[in-house]
């Protein structure tokens, strides 16, 4: 059906506007576990945009959350980051909130980017023996004095496994970010009469957004990129150095916020110590785990695990009270007590499939996409350049630098390159201005990266929230809600230099609070009240 429609459009030489290239239908039973109305559709795109005459194609499976307020003012395409993460399930899960924030007047659209989920998923191996080895050897670089060298060799061996056992020879060149950007333009042309792009991207999705803006500036109607990566680093560096540059200060903020919140809200504050003393205790505990890893659930709780767990808590302050309780319990207890806490914790993570082979799917896709996108490789022999790269990562962040060394080791020796890479400087004037958003303390994507990208995108605005967490979406405030809504409604940009305040961490302030407050302020229409009700439920 889909191909026939596209064929008709082509035959008639109709402008893209005249062709709705997508037949929307009910989504397959049980595909999305949601009460939100969703529709599904398929769009066929070229596998290889550098070969216009090739007949090889790829089917993009799209999910649409139709605008609550009809008629729709056009589609907003979504990407929540990675690379390597499929997008559709997250789009459906976050759809109600994003609809509220965008005023409910736009359809929200998502497809799994190439290399992930349902779209040419990149697979290194399906053999559980090799997957087990890859996972087991994914260690922190400061785990031992041979860890880095071993990671380096692991990178080489995994590249070999991906080549010999995986689908890399038929996928790896075609799953780069530039091709995903072209897919998104195909989608924009197929779904909306104006054929223009509206896009909302987070984290790695901001590199995708910057790439879209740079490759198709005249097609950008509206775009928010939130939690911004430095795209220069993403493509042309041996590691995403800048990305991690506020990780350690964000970690310190956890302790200072705990003391500010006081003993009634933060368990660690009950110990009568200063923030600096608490942080020192936690680092000493990490050292203990490094020397004495513990069996927990059916995993080993080691340096990589304990630091990764801490890193995860810095995405959002929402779970800081629980994190403080866990640290208070772990850091100041006997090994036997720790084993009990950790068994419970790791069993929970395992049951949520956050550990084990299922969690490894995303890592294989990440190698496939990110390593293929990287324009630089290191000499194959572990030498000065590799050591200097790892050293710089370590100096950038004590908390995560050594934990992401394995990505550098893999990408530096990766056997493939994306067939197309955007090689420009990200300096463009888009048709309408882009809104660039960042928190002041984001351990994953610092404010300086948002400023870097904003400087390149002529006329872009900057939404800054004074708060801690990964992306403004993770630091709810009435101020940022109004800024986001005004942008989607009217294209309005925040005043230069304006900063939104966020609620203190440990107060449990959420988007539900924001919605309650803005409702009270009379911002809601009947359709929006229905939207709000859905999010609050
Ligand atoms: C669907 O979501 C509900 C509510 O969150 C949950 O209880 C249920 O287990 C989910 N079902 C599946 C199949 O994921
Ligand atoms: C992929 O290509 C490499 C290099 O040409 C080759 O050694 C390998 O066997 C191929 N893999 C598969 C699965 O065909
Ligand atoms: C953005 O970051 C890149 C890579 O670090 C750097 O080369 C470039 O000068 C920066 N641009 C601006 C405007 O700061
Ligand atoms: C940001 O918030 C902190 C407290 O969380 C406050 O000390 C600081 O003054 C604020 N900065 C700005 C620029 O508003
Ligand atoms: C959009 O602009 C109109 C007209 O200026 C104004 O009344 C409305 O409040 C604005 N909407 C938002 C969400 O800022």
Q: What is the pLDDT of residue 528?
A: 65
Q: What is the pLDDT of residue 54?
A: 93
Pocket test for ligand 2, best of 163, 166, 414 (most atoms within 8 A of CB): 163
Asked, for residue 51, whether it belongs to a domain, the answer is: no
321 and 188 belong to one structural domain: no
User: What's the CATH number where 79 sits?
Assistant: 3.40.50.1820
Asked, for residue 77, whether it belongs to a domain, the answer is: yes
The answer, yes or no, to whether the previous bond of 243 is cis (omega within 30 of 0) is no
Which ligand 4 atom is nearest residue 440's CA?
1
Cβ–ligand 4 distance for 503 under 6 Å, the answer no
Q: How far apart are CA 201 and CA 223, in angstroms?
A: 8
Over residues 233-241, mean pLDDT: 97
Q: Examine the pLDDT at 274 and tell me if it is beyond 80.
A: yes
Calculate the alpha carbon distances from 33 to 29, 90, 91 in Å: 9, 11, 12
Q: Are 321 and 265 in contact (CB under 8 A)?
A: yes
Q: What is the pLDDT of residue 523?
A: 57
Which ligand 2 atom is nearest residue 169's CA?
1
Name the residue with the closest Cα to ligand 3, atom 1: 452
Name the residue with the closest Cα to ligand 3, atom 3: 232
Domain count, the chain: 2
pLDDT band at residue 9 under the 50/70/90 scheme? very low
Asked, for residue 285, whether it belongs to a domain, the answer is: yes
Distance 32 CA to ligand 1 centre (A): 10
Name the residue with the closest Cα to ligand 4, atom 1: 466
Residue 434 in tokens:
């882009």
Pocket of ligand 2 (CB under 6 A): 163-164, 169
Asked, for residue 267, whether it belongs to a domain, the answer is: yes
277 and 206 belong to one structural domain: no
Instruction: Find the domain containing 482 and state its range.
Output: 68-120+176-236+423-536
Q: Examine the pLDDT at 486 and tell me if it is beyond 60.
A: yes
Q: What is the pLDDT of residue 526?
A: 66
Angle at 250 between CA 498 and CA 402, to 5 degrees: 135
Q: What is the pLDDT of residue 536?
A: 57
Name the residue with the closest Cα to ligand 3, atom 8: 452
Q: Examine the pLDDT at 12 and tell me if it is beyond 70.
A: no
Distance 379 CA to ligand 2 centre (A): 22
pLDDT band at residue 356 under the 50/70/90 scheme? confident
pLDDT band at residue 347 under the 50/70/90 scheme? confident
Residue 348 in tokens:
């929970």
Pocket test for ligand 2, best of 125, 130, 164 (most atoms within 8 A of CB): 164
CA 496 to chain centre: 27
- Give the residue among 364, 263, 254, 266 at the shortest CA–CA distance from 309: 254
Which ligand 2 atom is nearest residue 165's CA?
13
Asked, for residue 273, whether it belongs to a domain, the answer is: yes
339 and 488 belong to one structural domain: no
220 and 275 belong to one structural domain: no
Q: How far apart are the first and last CA of the chain?
A: 38
Name the residue with the closest Cα to ligand 3, atom 10: 452
Q: How far apart are CA 124 and CA 136, in angstroms?
A: 16
Q: Examine the pLDDT at 525 and tell me if it is beyond 80.
A: no
Over residues 479-493, mean pLDDT: 97
Q: How far apart are CA 125 and CA 165, in angstroms?
A: 5
Give percent of the chain above pLDDT 90: 85
pLDDT band at residue 244 under the 50/70/90 scheme? very high
Q: What is the pLDDT of residue 17?
A: 38
DSSP state of 119: B
Name the residue with the closest Cα to ligand 4, atom 6: 466
Model confidence, pTM: 0.94
Asked, for residue 221, whether it belongs to a domain, the answer is: yes
Distance 166 CA to ligand 2 centre (A): 9
Name the residue with the closest Cα to ligand 5, atom 13: 486
Over residues 152-174, mean pLDDT: 97
Core vs surface per residue 363-397: b (16+ CB within 10 A) or e: bbbbbbbbbbbbeeebeeebeeebeebbeebbebb
Could you report the per-residue pLDDT of 286-333, keeping only the tens digit for each? 999 999 999 998 889 999 999 999 999 999 999 999 999 999 999 999
Q: Of 328, 351, 374, which one is at a domain's C-terminal end?
A: 351
Over residues 109-137, mean pLDDT: 95
- What integer best gives the mean pLDDT of the chain? 92
Whose atoms come closest to the Cα of 454: which ligand?
Answer: 3
226 and 95 belong to one structural domain: yes
114 and 222 belong to one structural domain: yes
Distance 57 CA to ligand 2 centre (A): 22
104 and 182 belong to one structural domain: yes
Q: Of 293, 319, 351, which one is at a domain's C-terminal end?
A: 351
Asked, for residue 364, whether it belongs to a domain, the answer is: no
The answer, yes or no, to whether the previous bond of 208 is cis (omega within 30 of 0) is no
Whose atoms come closest to the Cα of 229: which ligand?
Answer: 3
Which ligand 5 atom is nearest residue 489's CA?
13
84 and 223 belong to one structural domain: yes
The residue with tokens 């020796």 is 413
383 φ/ψ angles, rounded to the nearest 5 degrees: -145, -160
Q: What is the pLDDT of residue 373?
A: 98
Could you report the per-residue pLDDT of 174-229, keeping only the tens digit for each? 999 999 999 999 999 999 999 999 999 999 999 999 999 999 999 999 999 999 99
Pocket of ligand 5 (CB under 6 A): 485-486, 489-490, 492
Q: How far apart are CA 158 and CA 138, in angstroms?
A: 11
95 and 228 belong to one structural domain: yes
Q: Examine the pLDDT at 519 and tell me if it is beyond 80.
A: no
Q: How far apart are CA 231 and CA 507, in angstroms?
A: 34
Q: Are 399 and 426 in contact (CB under 8 A)?
A: no
pLDDT band at residue 350 under the 50/70/90 scheme? confident
Could you report the per-residue pLDDT of 51-62, keeping only the tens digit for each? 989 999 999 999
Could you report the per-residue pLDDT of 37-53, keeping only the tens digit for each? 999 999 999 999 999 89
User: Which residues lie below 8 Å from residue 440, measured CB to CB, with a gap of 6+?
Assistant: 447, 464, 465, 466, 467, 468, 499
pLDDT band at residue 521 under the 50/70/90 scheme? low
448 and 334 belong to one structural domain: no
Q: Examine the pLDDT at 19 and tell me if it is beyond 60.
A: no
Whose atoms come closest to the Cα of 505: which ligand?
Answer: 4
Q: Of 351, 373, 405, which one is at a domain's C-terminal end?
A: 351
454 and 472 belong to one structural domain: yes
Over residues 135-159, mean pLDDT: 95
Q: What is the pLDDT of residue 535?
A: 60
Q: Are 77 and 197 in contact (CB under 8 A)?
A: yes
Which ligand 3 atom is nearest residue 236's CA?
4
Asked, for residue 205, whether it belongs to a domain, the answer is: yes
Calculate the alpha carbon distances from 185 to 1, 4, 75, 76, 221 in Å: 21, 20, 12, 12, 12
User: Which residues lie below 8 Å from residue 242, measured CB to CB, with a gap of 6+?
Assistant: 230, 233, 396, 446, 448, 449, 452
Cβ–ligand 3 distance for 140 under 6 Å, the answer no
298 and 222 belong to one structural domain: no
- Give the residue among 188, 193, 199, 229 at the shortest CA–CA distance from 444: 229
Q: Examine the pLDDT at 3 and tell me if it is beyond 70.
A: no
pLDDT band at residue 34 under the 50/70/90 scheme? confident
Q: Examine the pLDDT at 103 and tell me if it is beyond 70.
A: yes
Half-sphere exposure of 20 (CA within 13 A, CB side): 7
């Amino acid at each position: 059906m889909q191909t026939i429609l596209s064929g008709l459009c082509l035959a008639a030489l109709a402008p893209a506007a005249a062709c709705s290239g997508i037949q929307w239908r009910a989504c397959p039973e049980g595909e999305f576990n949601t009460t939100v109305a969703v529709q599904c559709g398929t769009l066929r795109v070229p596998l290889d945009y550098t070969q216009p005459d090739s007949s090889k194609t790829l089917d993009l499976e799209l999910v649409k959350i139709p605008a609550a307020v009809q008629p729709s003012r056009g589609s907003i395409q979504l990407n929540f980051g990675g690379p390597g993460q499929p997008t559709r399930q997250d789009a459906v899960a976050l759809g109600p909130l994003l609809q509220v924030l965008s005023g409910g007047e736009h359809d929200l659209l998502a497809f799994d980017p190439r290399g992930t989920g349902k779209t040419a998923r990149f697979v290194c191996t399906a053999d559980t023996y090799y997957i087990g080895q890859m996972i087991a050897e994914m260690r922190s670089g400061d785990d031992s004095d041979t860890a880095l060298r071993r990671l380096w060799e692991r990178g080489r061996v995994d590249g070999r496994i991906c080549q010999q056992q995986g689908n890399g020879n038929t996928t790896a060149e075609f799953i780069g970010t530039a091709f995903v950007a072209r897919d998104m333009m195909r989608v924009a042309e197929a779904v909306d009469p104006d054929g223009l792009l509206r896009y909302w991207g987070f984290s790695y999705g901001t590199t995708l957004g910057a790439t879209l803006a740079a490759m198709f500036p005249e097609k950008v109607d509206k775009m928010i990129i939130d939690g911004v990566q430095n795209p220069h680093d993403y493509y042309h560096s041996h590691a995403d150095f800048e990305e991690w540059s506020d990780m350690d200060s964000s970690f310190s903020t956890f302790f200072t916020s705990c003391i500010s919140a006081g003993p009634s809200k933060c368990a660690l504050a009950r110990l009568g110590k200063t923030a600096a003393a608490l942080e020192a205790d936690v680092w000493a505990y990490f050292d203990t785990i490094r020397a004495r890893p513990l069996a927990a659930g059916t995993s080993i709780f080691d340096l990589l695990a304990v630091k990764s767990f801490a890193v995860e808590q810095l995405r959002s302050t929402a779970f800081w009270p629980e994190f403080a309780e866990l640290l208070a319990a772990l850091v100041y207890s006997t090994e036997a007590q720790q084993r009990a806490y950790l068994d419970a914790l790791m069993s929970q993570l395992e049951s949520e499939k956050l550990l084990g082979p299922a969690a490894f799917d995303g890592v294989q896709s990440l190698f496939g996409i990110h390593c293929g996108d990287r324009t630089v490789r290191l000499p194959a022999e572990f030498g000065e350049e590799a050591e200097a790269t790892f050293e710089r990562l370590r100096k950038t962040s004590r908390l995560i630098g050594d934990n992401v060394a394995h990505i550098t080791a893999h990408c530096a020796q990766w056997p493939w390159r994306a067939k197309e890479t955007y090689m420009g400087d990200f300096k463009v004037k888009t048709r309408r201005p882009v809104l660039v958003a960042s928190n002041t303390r984001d351990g994953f994507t610092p404010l300086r990266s948002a400023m870097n990208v904003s400087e390149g995108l002529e006329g872009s605005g900057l939404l800054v929230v004074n708060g801690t967490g990964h992306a403004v979406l993770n630091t709810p405030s009435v101020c940022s809600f109004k800024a986001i809504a005004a942008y989607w409604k009217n294209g309005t940009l925040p005043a230069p230099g304006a900063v939104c305040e966020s609620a203190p961490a440990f107060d449990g302030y959420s988007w539900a609070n924001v919605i309650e407050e803005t409702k009270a302020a009379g911002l809601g229409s009947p359709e929006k009240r229905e939207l709000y009700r859905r999010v609050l439920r």
